Structure 1
Amino acid sequence: MKSKTIFTRLLTGFMAAALIVAVPAKAVRADSFKVVTVGGDLNAQQKADMLKYFGVDEKTANIVTVNIDEEKKYLADSVSNDKIGTKSISCSYIEPTSSGGLNVSVNNVTWVDSNMIKNALITAGITNANVKVSAPFKVSGTAALTGILKGFENSSKGAKIDEDKKKTANQELTTTAALGDMIGKDQASKVINDIKAQVVKDKPKDEAAIKEIVQSELKKYDLKLSSEDVDKITALMNKINGLNLNFSDIKDQIGQVSNQLKDVLTSPEAKGFFSKLIEAIKSIFAKIFG
Structure 2
Amino acid sequence: MRPRQKHRWLRWMWVALTLALVVSFVLTALAPALAASDSSTSSSSSSPAATGEAAGSGRTVVVLGADLTEAQRQEVLRLLGLDPATWDGEPLVLTHQEEVALVGDYVPRQQLGSRAISSVRVEPAAPGSGIRVETKHITWVAPEMYAEALATAGVKDAVVYVAAPFDVSGTAALAGIYKAYEISAGESLDAQRKDLGAREIGVMVRIAQEIGNPEKAGQFLTLLKERMAEHPPTSREEILALIRELEQDLGIQLSDPLREELATLVEKLRDAGIDWQAVTTQLQQVREQVNRFLGDDTPILKGFFNQAWNWLLQVVDAIRSWFGQ
**Length-normalised TM-score, structure 1:** 0.74
Quote how far apart the aligned CAs of 1:62 are. Answer: 4.9
Residues 1-290 of structure 1 correspond to what in structure 2 (within 5 A)?
A: 33-54=59-80, 55=82, 60-97=88-125, 98-155=127-184, 157-183=185-211, 184-266=213-295
Residue 44 of structure 1 aligns with an amino acid whose one-letter code is E
Are 2:131 and 2:283, in contact at CA under 8 Å, matched by a contact in 1? no
**For 1:16-44, what per-residue CA distance to the aligned partner results, in whole angstroms no more than 9, with x for missing partners?**
xxxxxxxxxxxxx8768110011111122
Asked whether the 8 Å contact 2:182–2:188 carries over to 1, the reply is yes
Change (3 A) 1:49 1:225: closer
- CA drift of 1:51 comes to 2.5
Q: Which moved more, 1:242-251 or 1:108-117?
A: 242-251
- 1:174 Cα offset (Å): 2.4
Measure the CA separation in 1 of the matches of 2:254 and 2:72.
41
Tell me, yes or no, if the aligned pair for 1:92 and 1:132 is still in contact at 8 Å.
yes
Cα distance, 1:206 vs. partner?
Answer: 4.2
**Kept in 2: contact 1:39–1:65 (CA 8 A):** yes
Question: What amino acid is aligned across from residue 277 of structure 2 in structure 1?
Answer: S
Identical amino acids, percent of aligned pairs: 26
CA distance in 1, matches of 2:252, 2:137: 30
Q: Compared with structure 1, are the counterparts of its residues 219 and 59 closer, same or farther at alpha carbon in structure 2 (3 Å cutoff)?
A: closer
Aligned-pair CA distance for 1:106: 0.6
* Separation in 1, partners of 2:119, 2:250: 34
Q: Per the alignment, do residues 256 and 73 of structure 1 end up closer, same or farther by CA in structure 2, a change over 3 Å counting?
A: same
Pairwise CA distance, 1:219: 3.5
1:123 & 1:201 partners in 2: Cα distance? 16
CA contact (8 A) 2:137 2:163 kept: yes
Amino acid at match of 1:140: S
Q: 2:135, 2:163 within 8 Å by CA — same for their partners in 1?
A: yes
Structure 1: distance between partners of 2:221 and 2:162:
21
Distance 1:231 1:147 in 2: 29
Task: Quote how far apart the aligned CAs of 1:201 are.
Answer: 4.0
Distance 1:142 1:128, change over 3 A: same
2:77 is aligned with what amino acid?
L
Could you tell me which runs of 5 or more consecutive residues in structure 2 were left unpaired when the two chains were aligned.
1-51, 297-325
CA contact (8 A) 2:207 2:254 kept: no
For 1:112, the aligned partner's letter is: V
CA-atom RMSD in angstroms: 2.4
Q: CA deviation at 1:259?
A: 2.2
Secondary structure of 1:95's aligned partner: strand
Deviations 1:185-230 (A, max 9, x none): 2222221111122224434334444333323332433543221011
CA distance in 1, matches of 2:111, 2:214: 17
- Alpha-carbon distance between aligned partners in 2 of 1:250 and 1:153, rounded to the nearest angstrom: 18
